[in-house]
């Protein structure tokens, strides 16, 4: 597998203020100031997918688009893994420092969430 073509990634996102955000079909959700980890994947062109996540003013399609469109949200880091998307989400879910955001980013699987609020300062690169 060539990691730039098909892979799973984790976006490390810093949100600088508390706010309620409408997240498409999920409705209004409160996002507190802090660090979030979003697990995503791309089957064909991961680089293009990540570039899309970083772009402002795009058509809002995925749950993560609604959060990243906020002016107080910045992607701090992008972590790559050869694990699958759900396996990576399960690993993050098992961390005591990670609080899942219910139903976020997982409408095509049975996971509780693919988005996690990080309550403690953890080094995500050691997990990936």
Range of the domain at 99: 7-127
pTM for this model (two decimals):
0.90
In-domain check, residue 82? yes
In-domain check, residue 78? yes
Q: pLDDT digits over 8-51, tens only?
A: 999 999 999 999 999 999 999 999 999 999 999 988 888 899 99
Total domains present in the chain: 1
Whole-number Å distance between alpha carbons of 11 and 81: 11
Whole-number Å distance between alpha carbons of 41 and 5: 10
Share of the chain above pLDDT 70, in %: 93
E strand segments, the chain: 7-15, 19-22, 28-31, 34-42, 73-81, 98-100, 115-118
In-domain check, residue 31? yes
Residue 119 has pLDDT above 80, yes or no: no
In-domain check, residue 2? no
Q: pLDDT digits over 40-58, tens only?
A: 998 888 889 999 999 999 9
| 22, burial (CB in 10 Å: exposed 0-12, middle 13-18, buried 19+) | exposed
| The two structure tokens encoding residue 2 | 């060539």
Q: What is the DSSP letter of 59?
A: P
In-domain check, residue 23? yes
In-domain check, residue 117? yes
Whole-number Å distance between alpha carbons of 127 and 46: 20
> Strand, helix or coil at 67?
helix
In-domain check, residue 1? no
């Amino acid at each position: 597998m060539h990691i730039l073509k098909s892979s799973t990634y984790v976006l490390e996102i810093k949100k600088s203020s508390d706010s309620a955000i409408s997240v498409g079909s999920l409705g209004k959700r409160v996002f507190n100031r802090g660090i979030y980890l979003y697990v995503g994947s791309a089957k064909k062109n991961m680089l293009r997918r990540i570039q899309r996540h970083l772009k402002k003013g795009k058509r809002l399609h995925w749950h993560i688009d609604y959060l990243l469109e906020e002016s107080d949200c910045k992607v701090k880091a992008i972590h790559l893994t050869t694990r699958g998307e759900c396996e990576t989400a399960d690993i993050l879910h098992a961390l005591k420092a990670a609080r899942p955001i219910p139903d976020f980013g997982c409408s095509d699987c049975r996971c509780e969430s693919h988005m996690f609020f990080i309550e403690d300062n953890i080094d995500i690169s050691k997990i990936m």
